[in-house]
């Protein structure tokens, strides 16, 4: 049986991104998801608001593709 692996919210995702050195706010992340700049999450329009889902495996893959070792 396959399962969807961990979905987190924008605050949790920002914490992970900040741990990797990216300066980002939840509002910035939400805007980026909405415009398609961050492919590791989706925005689901619900009446007047959006619900955001960030998939941890896709987030970690995105980070890995863009990060490098620092001394």
The C-alpha angle 49, 63, 31, rounded to 5 degrees, equals: 20
Q: What share of the chain is helix, strand, coil (3-state, %, to 5)?
A: 45, 20, 35
- For residues 42 and 33, the answer to whether their CB atoms sit within 8 Å is yes
The token pair that represents 60 in the structure block: 């970690």
> Would you say 13 and 53 are in contact if contact means Cβ atoms under 8 Å apart?
no
Enclosing domain of residue 32: 7-65
Residue 44 lies in a domain: yes
The verdict on residue 1 lying in a domain is no
> What's the pLDDT tens digit per position in 4-32?
778 999 999 999 999 999 999 999 999 99
Residue 33 has pLDDT above 90, yes or no: yes
In tens, the pLDDT along 54-71 reads 999 999 999 999 988 877
Structural domains in the chain (count)? 1
Task: Express each pLDDT in 40-57 by its tens digit.
Answer: 999 999 888 999 999 999
Stated pTM of the model: 0.85
């Amino acid at each position: 049986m396959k399962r969807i692996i961990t979905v987190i919210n924008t605050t949790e995702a920002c914490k992970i991104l900040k741990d990797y050195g990216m300066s980002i706010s939840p509002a910035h992340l939400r805007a980026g998801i909405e415009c398609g700049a961050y492919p590791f999450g989706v925005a689901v329009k619900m009446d007047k608001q959006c619900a955001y889902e960030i998939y941890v495996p896709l987030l970690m893959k995105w980070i890995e593709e863009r990060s490098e070792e620092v001394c």
